[in-house]
Structure 1
Amino acid sequence: MLLRLSHPSSTPEAIRRSVLHALVSITIDDLGAMKLTIPLIVSLAVLSWARAVPETHAVHERRESTPTRWTKLGRVPSQVSLTMRVGLAQSNLDNAHEYLMDVSHPESPNYGKLWTSEQVIEAFKPSDDAIEAVHRWLVDSGISKPSLSQNKAWFAFDATAEQAEALLHAEYHEYQDLRTGGVMPACERYHIPRRIQKHIDYITPGIRLLAPFEGTKPEHGTLSKRQWPSGGERWGSGWPGQGRPGSTWPKHHPALQPPPINHSDLSQCDVAITPACVAALYDIPPATKAAPGNSMGIFEAELQFWDQYDLDSFFWNITGGRIPNGTHPIDNDIDGGVAMTTNVSAAGGEAMLDLELSYPIVYPQTITVWNVDDLKYQTWANDTYTWGFNTLLDAIDGSYCTYSAYGETGDLEGVDPTYPDPGPEGYNGTLQCGVFKSTNVISLSYGGQEFDVPIAYQKRQCNEYLKLGLQGVSFIFASGDAGVGDYPKPDGTGCLGPDNNIFNPTWPVNCPYVTAVGATKVYPGHTVFEPESAVFDPAGSPYSVNYSSGGGFSNIFAPADYQKAAIDTFFAEHNPQYPSYSQLAAEPSDPYVEANVTALSGSTGGIYNRIGRGYPDVAANGDNIATYDQGVYGLSGGTSASTPIFGSIINRINEERIAVGKSPVGFLNPTLYAHPEVLNDITNGTNPNCGTVGFSAVKGWDPVTGLGTPNYPKLLELFLSLP
């Protein structure tokens, strides 16, 4: 009996049919004669299957195992139509850091020569050779009219499952997501010609399992406000603003009303931090300028609305009427976002804190509030919402909506909101891409833990902060309020590893292209004319958990060159007495993969990563802030108080640079690390968590207060001296 197989250049589907036909055609006599050779037949079939992949091709991506949340079902029917995307490898990503340093480092002759959005797209688009080579492969393989995206980042086309399998020498199955019930096609591996591998980032549908929203979402109204989900859920366990579970956050409560004070009396700043105290701490004179196009940007989400009654109460009672009643921010509401409320009881403590700290520093300049996502997403306590940062980035850079990197094109389905969003209070319009011009500074008092967010998601987003930095946008993020870890969860400590003792770094401040702000405090009995200390409020009535400045080292990102010397000095002169490990998370093959810190630590017994990006970069006061919220005067705090203070100071510096014909400062960090003398070094305090006292504030940079707090006159002199 002769077992005939299809020619090696045949498709996998044709090979399989040939093998099955030949085996079924074997007679009983054949089986009797060949009972000893059936294993050989099977082996030959397998070998022929393997040879079906031409030698000119190679595996481009492979999934080693299927996540437990997914169930592999049957083959995708051969005539089912699949919408295919071929993500093209961007050019010059390996040069991106140098491009940013060229316009951001104070020693560069091109400092301040910011790029346009068109220049950014042109610099990083796939090369013409790459586009032509991939297009030729598709057409020669029988794909008719593949379309190239507007930003030239990917090709799209429709193909039957049979055509896709033939193109990629793959086998597509349906997979069902046990969480949502959604079903999607995927393969375990696929092949492409070796000659074009360098031009292709990834192909979808491919090995990635992306959770579609096909299950049932909670109806709006089931949660009156965003609630804290259980600690085992992803991304829902972060901190909205500097929120802490189990309390009313920000750290504001009617029971904490301070004793009556004179808000211009600097001797009482250890009781309540007022605008006068902030001005004295950082030597900030009253603002007089309001350059067009330099509105101060503040990001809000999570049902954080501002209201006019609280603003007017603050302006009249705490600023002494210097800011007129009726003054209010510009609202840039994105994808159904709502920034303002007329219901005083619905005002958000985070929104009021941000505005009431920023206005006294920047007024008469305006403030722009970036409020993201519709009320359904802001209300729904799902397990994937990542604070809407991608919604903001899409709105201020249209190319990000279709940017392909690390196996993702555009927003990550099942993680980021999906629009149109039909239903009550859903945004039923299309995703807003590039509809707003960014403010020069954006203060973002939100974040979570990097352990809870997929590696690829973080890296793609970090690239966008770099690209917007090239265009002069300063992203100022809060470093977190739980020291070297996270807040305790019902099922754990907020720390990592099998013993719950490994430090748990924060995201997005782990990205080296944002400025991370930690928190300081004027302690009782001290004044604004003395050095501040790192903030620390111990657990106890009325708070159930410690509050300390978020700081540490990333498990995903390495230090940028501008920071390396500062970190080296910290370790050389103030080496922490904790065991450490020295390994960063590898680039994942799946966009849902998170950093496995237990594997990184291995058998070292280490509890922090010695080779990661260090944060925070700087600090500012973040405790006992005098505010009005929901009609009540009280105290608030957190690194999300520190962040708008620092961001507003940078906005003031931009005012002065613009007044003399210079550009905004853009990405700050290289200049700050090159000139730490323009900051007030903080040398007292720690940021405890994970069963330790955390790190210590020491001379020079440290992972508690960074380089220190702002000294406005010195910062202004430095940045005005630059081109």
Structure 2
Amino acid sequence: MRSLSVWVPVALAAVVFAVPAKDCAHKVKESVPPPRGWTKSAPAPADHVIELRIALPQPKFSELEKHLYEVSDPFHDRYGQHLSKEEVESLVAPEAESIHLVNEWLASHGLIEDHLSRSPAKDWVTVKVPVSLAEEMLKTEYHVWTHDATGDAVVRTTAYSIPEHLDSHVELIQPTTMFSRMKSLKTSFRINDAQEKTALVPADAPPISVPSASGGHVDASCNQTITITCLLELYNAVGFKPSAKNGNQIGITGYLEQFANKEDLQLFYADQRPDALNSSFKTILINGGLNNQTLSEAGAEANLDTQFAYGLTFPTPGTFFSTGGRPPFKPDVLTPTNTNEPYLDWLDFVLAQKDIPQTISTSYADDEQTVPESFAKRVCNGFAQLGARGVSLMFSSGDGGVGDGEEDPALQQCFTNDGRNATRFVPLFPPACPFVTAVGGTIHVPETAVFFSGGGFSDVFPRPAYQELAVTKFLDTLAPGTYKGLFNPNGRAIPDVAAQADLFRIFLSGRPVSIGGTSAAAPTFSGIVSLLNSARLSKGLPPLGFLNPLIYAIHALEPTAFNDITVGNNPGCGTPGFNATKGWDPVTGVGTPNFGKLKDIVTLDLLHIAGL
């Protein structure tokens, strides 16, 4: 929040004393080669307004990270002792000198406090400026860049500079060098007649035997249509009743004008969850997000996420975050809109709230290599802040196997984006962030890996300690030289877990639809996590928070708490991809959840896994 009484005098003083900052020597802060698949068309209009986000360094972030791992480690005495909003903000706040010097620089360009907005910790400064001023400030030239395959366009530059004396006081500025194209992770979308679909399985078909499932079996129809009942049976959650009054909440993020339709939700509930009829969810609008409830404008992604997440967890209160803004725009509609990656808009908002859902699912991602490393790390640090506050974040792992997010192999671009054009597998971000839980996909009963399940190894983030044992075991099974040079064996490994990801029956614009993608897996796994949180909160225990240290600890000591997936692979980039195998693998992680066993573990009073 702004504090005008404090900052306006500083800004005004800067106007008087800091004018030379405008003309001092500059240093290149970031430079990238022309991005693959984009064409520089024309100079950006001088009056086009962009929203510059300036990241100030977080000198105490390593301390925050230490706290995060301690409160997330089931072996640690501080397990579950999450930090408050104020404690987190104090650990990401910049130095006063950084704030002062950046203020001086902005004021030298006529930008005083009234023109600025700041994050609660003051580690981000945002200002809307015309392209002409941004070019003067950053000693650069902005152009309209057009994406060759889609015609979408962004206003970007390939290099920018800042005054030399600010180099250690500014971490990054965007939008400048980021050419990402955020997309939802759904691979299949087929409209089916409901009666024809269900008629394919005889009513007297025997159930499928699955020892780890509720009652040891799953209805035969689940091999062609996934419903709430299928998931509850398969993941051993039949009969558990979450509380609506213990403070537990679940959240779903929505982007790219995806609207969660409440009329469709009622049709879904009538079809699969009749006890939830007439219940709904709260919608929060962020950065110009909309809530169009016209039935024909319903979003397949938003409906999939909300119907299954809220259907699995009813009567847990649900929230849908509708975030506006998207990186691409049409070059003939140069309106003053935000062209930043909208993850940051969502983070800005949610980190400023005191009350946040304990479980949040996101089914959108970018190719990791299209996100500048400095930006990816800062956004990832934002996710760490949420984890430290007790929030579990799930992200779909991707729908292109080991390739980029394109499910059609013919459209995959398996080349580096650094000017070398070297052949390379393409992990996705944010799933590559070590502070979130990446969810891969399975299909059928008994479960096998679904072919499009995104997986692999980050080229930006090193492998975190919590993965070392499980991932090293997998790497040791690979034949020497397997995919040498195509992936980073020392990178953060993806995914962590998996869940069903295809043949999901939802309602869209009043009709039944079959849909799939790791977009389905993320809200499914998130629903199971929310049920676990409900069980904990009802016993007076804190929420699970950042899950990954716990997931890998349980997998090491009680592996049957996850259903190990050992059949299938995730082809991409002209290769068969990796194989699902015993233990962790880069297709399905440690496997799919066994809610009954996980509940018994996480509701232990101290949750010291070694005592299982």
Instruction: Classify the TM-score, shorter chain.
Output: 0.7 to 0.9
Distance 2:280 2:429 in 1: 30
SS in 2 for 1:613: strand
Distance 1:306 1:129 in 2: 44
1:549 and 2:464 equivalent? no
Distance 2:32 2:224 in 1: 57
Distance 2:450 2:154 in 1: 45
2:214 equivalent in structure 1 = none
1:326 equivalent in structure 2 = 278
1:191 and 2:164 equivalent? yes
The answer as to whether partners of 2:144 and 2:156 remain within 8 angstroms in 1 is: no
1:562 equivalent in structure 2 = 466
Q: 1:391 to 1:209 in 2, by over 3 A?
A: closer
Deviation at 1:326, TM superposition (A): 2.1
The answer as to whether partners of 1:303 and 1:379 remain within 8 angstroms in 2 is: no
1:449 equivalent in structure 2 = 367
1:364 and 2:337 equivalent? no
The answer as to whether partners of 1:331 and 1:371 remain within 8 angstroms in 2 is: yes
Distance 2:299 2:54 in 1: 43
1:306 and 2:260 equivalent? yes
2:395 equivalent in structure 1 = 477
What is the TM-score normalised by the length of structure 2? 0.75
Distance 1:66 1:495 in 2: 17
Q: How does 1:108-507 map to 2 (within 5 A)?
A: 108-127=76-95, 151-153=121-123, 173=139, 175-179=141-145, 190-192=163-165, 200-201=169-170, 210=176, 234-236=179-181, 238-242=182-186, 244=187, 249-250=188-189, 252=191, 258-260=197-199, 266-286=219-239, 287-319=241-273, 321-323=274-276, 325-339=277-291, 341-343=293-295, 345-373=296-324, 380=329, 388-398=342-352, 434=353, 437-486=355-404, 487=406, 493-497=412-416, 501-507=423-429
Distance 2:251 2:144 in 1: 40
Aligned residue type for 2:412: T
2:562 equivalent in structure 1 = 679
Matched positions, count = 531
What is the TM-score normalised by the length of structure 1? 0.64
Distance 2:483 2:538 in 1: 51
Distance 1:478 1:84 in 2: 28
Distance 1:255 1:102 in 2: 49
Residue of structure 2 aligned with 1:100, choices 54, 58, 68 = 68
Spell out, residue by residue over 1:284-307, the C-alpha distance to the aligned partner (whole angstroms, 9 max, x if none).
Answer: 033241135322111122232233
The answer as to whether partners of 2:400 and 2:408 remain within 8 angstroms in 1 is: no
2:578 equivalent in structure 1 = 695
Deviation at 1:363, TM superposition (A): 1.0
Residue of structure 2 aligned with 1:642, choices 505, 516, 521 = 521
Q: 1:385 to 1:441 in 2, by over 3 A?
A: farther
Aligned residue type for 1:633: P
Distance 2:62 2:411 in 1: 39
User: Which structure shows the bigger proportion of residues in strand conformation?
Assistant: 2
Q: 1:722 to 1:128 in 2, by over 3 A?
A: farther
Spell out, residue by residue over 1:170-219, the C-alpha distance to the aligned partner (whole angstroms, 9 max, x if none).
Answer: 998563435499899x9757433xxx976x23598xxx8838xxxxxxxx
The answer as to whether partners of 1:239 and 1:448 remain within 8 angstroms in 2 is: yes
Rg (Cα) greater in structure = 1
Aligned residue type for 2:425: F
Q: 1:380 to 1:341 in 2, by over 3 A?
A: farther
Q: 1:250 to 1:665 in 2, by over 3 A?
A: farther
Q: 1:386 to 1:495 in 2, by over 3 A?
A: farther
Deviation at 1:647, TM superposition (A): 0.3
SS in 2 for 1:269: helix
Distance 1:349 1:663 in 2: 34
Distance 1:308 1:70 in 2: 42
SS in 1 for 2:75: coil
Distance 2:402 2:341 in 1: 21
Distance 1:154 1:511 in 2: 20
2:449 equivalent in structure 1 = 534
Spell out, residue by residue over 1:630-681, the C-alpha distance to the aligned partner (whole angstroms, 9 max, x if none).
Answer: 2222322111111111101111111111111111111000000111122111
1:4 equivalent in structure 2 = none
Distance 2:421 2:137 in 1: 41
Deviation at 1:575, TM superposition (A): 4.5
Spell out, residue by residue over 1:70-114, the C-alpha distance to the aligned partner (whole angstroms, 9 max, x if none).
Answer: 9999xxxxxxxxx99996532222333322101101111101111
Deviation at 1:392, TM superposition (A): 1.4
Spell out, residue by residue over 1:2-22, the C-alpha distance to the aligned partner (whole angstroms, 9 max, x if none).
Answer: xxxxxxxxx9999xxxxxxxx
Aligned residue type for 1:560: P
Distance 2:104 2:261 in 1: 55
Q: 1:347 to 1:691 in 2, by over 3 A?
A: same
Q: 1:60 to 1:626 in 2, by over 3 A?
A: same
Distance 1:203 1:507 in 2: 18
Aligned residue type for 2:183: W
1:662 equivalent in structure 2 = 541
The answer as to whether partners of 2:402 and 2:571 remain within 8 angstroms in 1 is: yes
Distance 1:475 1:665 in 2: 11
The answer as to whether partners of 2:399 and 2:518 remain within 8 angstroms in 1 is: yes
1:226 equivalent in structure 2 = none
The answer as to whether partners of 1:314 and 1:356 remain within 8 angstroms in 2 is: yes
Aligned residue type for 1:533: T
Aligned residue type for 1:175: E
Q: 1:632 to 1:202 in 2, by over 3 A?
A: closer
2:16 equivalent in structure 1 = none
Spell out, residue by residue over 1:226-262, the C-alpha distance to the aligned partner (whole angstroms, 9 max, x if none).
Answer: xxxxxxx9433x53232x4xxxx54555599624356
Distance 2:137 2:230 in 1: 66
1:623 and 2:502 equivalent? yes
Spell out, residue by residue over 1:440-496, the C-alpha distance to the aligned partner (whole angstroms, 9 max, x if none).
Answer: 111111112112222222111100000110001111111111100022789953322
Aligned residue type for 1:534: A
SS in 1 for 2:461: coil
1:521 equivalent in structure 2 = 443
Distance 1:70 1:658 in 2: 55
Distance 2:190 2:538 in 1: 38
Q: 1:266 to 1:387 in 2, by over 3 A?
A: farther
Distance 2:503 2:126 in 1: 54
Once the two structures are aligned, what percentage of the paired residues are identical? 31
Aligned residue type for 1:347: A
SS in 1 for 2:58: coil
SS in 2 for 1:556: strand
**Backbone CA RMSD of aligned residues:** 4.3
Distance 2:384 2:462 in 1: 15
Aligned residue type for 1:553: F
- Unpaired segments ≥5 residues, structure 2: 1-19, 45-50, 128-135, 146-152, 208-217, 607-612
